[in-house]
Amino acid sequence: VLEFDIKTIRKDFPTLNQSVNGNPLVYLDSGATSQKPQAVIDATTKFYSQSNANVHRGRHALSEAATAQYEQARENIANYFHVQANEIVWTKGATEALNLLAYGLQNQLNQSDTIIITPLEHHANIVPWQVVAQNTGATLSVLPLEKNGSFNTDNCVKYIKQTKAKVLCISQASNTLGNITDLAPLISAAKAVGTLIIVDGAQGAMHLRPNLKALNCDFYVFSAHKMLGPTGVGGLYGRYELLNTLTPYQTGGEMIQTVTLEKSTYRSAPAKFETGTPNIAGVIGFAAAINYLSSLNFAQLQQHEQTVFKYAANELSKIEGITIYSDLSHNIGTLSFNYKSEHPYDLATLLDGFGVAVRSGHHCTQPLMAHLGLNGTVRASFAFYNTVQDVDIFINSLKESIALLD
């Protein structure tokens, strides 16, 4: 494990060292996707230039090398999350993992069951459950959220105990606000009444580096591209015995044990859920991302990330007319805000002119926007590769943008 040295780290990310619109890039959109270290780019290129072959199929050298790397990647991500390799299923991202779960659980749900979602979920953790509720007659119910977008743990625990739902679907951290959910008490309440817990870790997986065995959730979904890895790959952790109870969401080659023209039998997890040729280069690139992350001292990384975030929050809150919606005390490093009644899109466009990349809009959380009474926000989402200098440029650019709007 290396000392956390921000100067060296920034050199590992080629995209960060460029100008945008004549200004040095300040990338504050890691909530949408993180930048990639050279090690990830190299691992992907090396696979295509040296060992490209299909996995699990050939007995020739290249295929065996590709299979070994692909399965080693499963070990690496399992170690990162403190789970077993056979509990990791590769998917194309968090969205596909949630769809896999929703479809996979459908046969276990009926009219007498309840599925709990929350008002701050990403659409990817809402829409699949609406479809399942429609298909099975199960009731969709909503965990209470305070006016300001935070959960009151006591209220939530009570709700979970009373509802005795079949499934609870909840984010580890909000993509819009960055607020971290205090999951432990909610998970123990759910366990006490036999509710399965699905955690959307798309935002939490990199910033919080969770030990999933300790967290004790049943399922956890993640996207590589938000963890320094390539796009189009991600996965699902599931407790092994539970994984095998799911109906496969897609069927075809690779996932079968035997096929006759009349019927087929399936392999056990994780193969049961990995039909077709997977994103092999993506998985190998993801393993390089996990290795890179794991090589950094996490305590130092978190301290740096929080220092930069708190500085940004403090500077932002000093600007008259700015409203911040994020909970600053338990946050992965995301600031959602507006300036007076200005349209978030206008601010984001002006900031882009200064080389500052932020996101604007509803962030795929329309129910949360409705809950907060907003049409959208500007979102500045930080990662460990951001610096105090990034914050200074962001704040100065914001002040200049505001001056143009006023």
> Among all residues, which ones are annotated catalytic?
364
Residue among 169 and 308 whose Cβ is closer to ligand PMP: 169
Residue among 35 and 171 whose Cβ is closer to ligand PMP: 171
And the tokens for 109? Answer: 């749900």
State the minimum distance, in angstroms, from the CB of residue 89 to ligand PMP: 14
Residue type, 65: A
Let me know: does 328 contact 313? Beta carbons within 8 Å.
yes
Residue among 36 and 122 whose Cβ is closer to ligand PMP: 122
Rounded to 5°, angle at Cα 319 from 315 and 322: 110
And the tokens for 175? Answer: 């993509």
State the minimum distance, in angstroms, from the CB of residue 261 to ligand PMP: 36
State the minimum distance, in angstroms, from the CB of residue 6 to ligand PMP: 25
Other CB atoms within 10 Å distance of the CB of residue 253: 11
Measure Cα distances from 120 to 132, 142, 145, 231, 281 in Å.
19, 10, 8, 24, 33
State the minimum distance, in angstroms, from the CB of residue 186 to ligand PMP: 16
Rounded to 5 degrees, what are φ and ψ at 198? -110, 120
Helix (H), strand (E) at residue 256: strand 256-259
Long-range contacts of 129-132 (CB under 8 A, 24+ apart): 129/102, 129/167, 129/169, 131/102, 132/102, 132/103, 132/105, 132/106
Residue among 94 and 335 whose Cβ is closer to ligand PMP: 94
Q: Which positions lie near ligand PMP, rule CB under 6 A? A: 93-95, 122, 124-125, 171, 175, 200, 202-203, 223, 234, 364
Residue among 173 and 398 whose Cβ is closer to ligand PMP: 173
State the minimum distance, in angstroms, from the CB of residue 171 to ligand PMP: 5
Question: Secondary structure of 132-194 in the HEC alphabet?
Answer: HHHHHCCEEEECCCCCCCCCCHHHHHHHHHHHCCCEEEEECECCCCCEECCHHHHHHHHHHCC
Let me know: does 235 contact 96? Beta carbons within 8 Å.
no
And the tokens for 101? Answer: 């779960």
Strands 219-223 and 196-200: parallel
Helix, coil or strand: residue 214: helix
State the minimum distance, in angstroms, from the CB of residue 193 to ligand PMP: 25
State the minimum distance, in angstroms, from the CB of residue 296 to ligand PMP: 22
Of 140, 181, 123, the C-alpha closest to 157 is 181
Measure Cα distances from 294 to 3, 79, 299 in Å.
12, 10, 12
And the tokens for 353? Answer: 């002119």
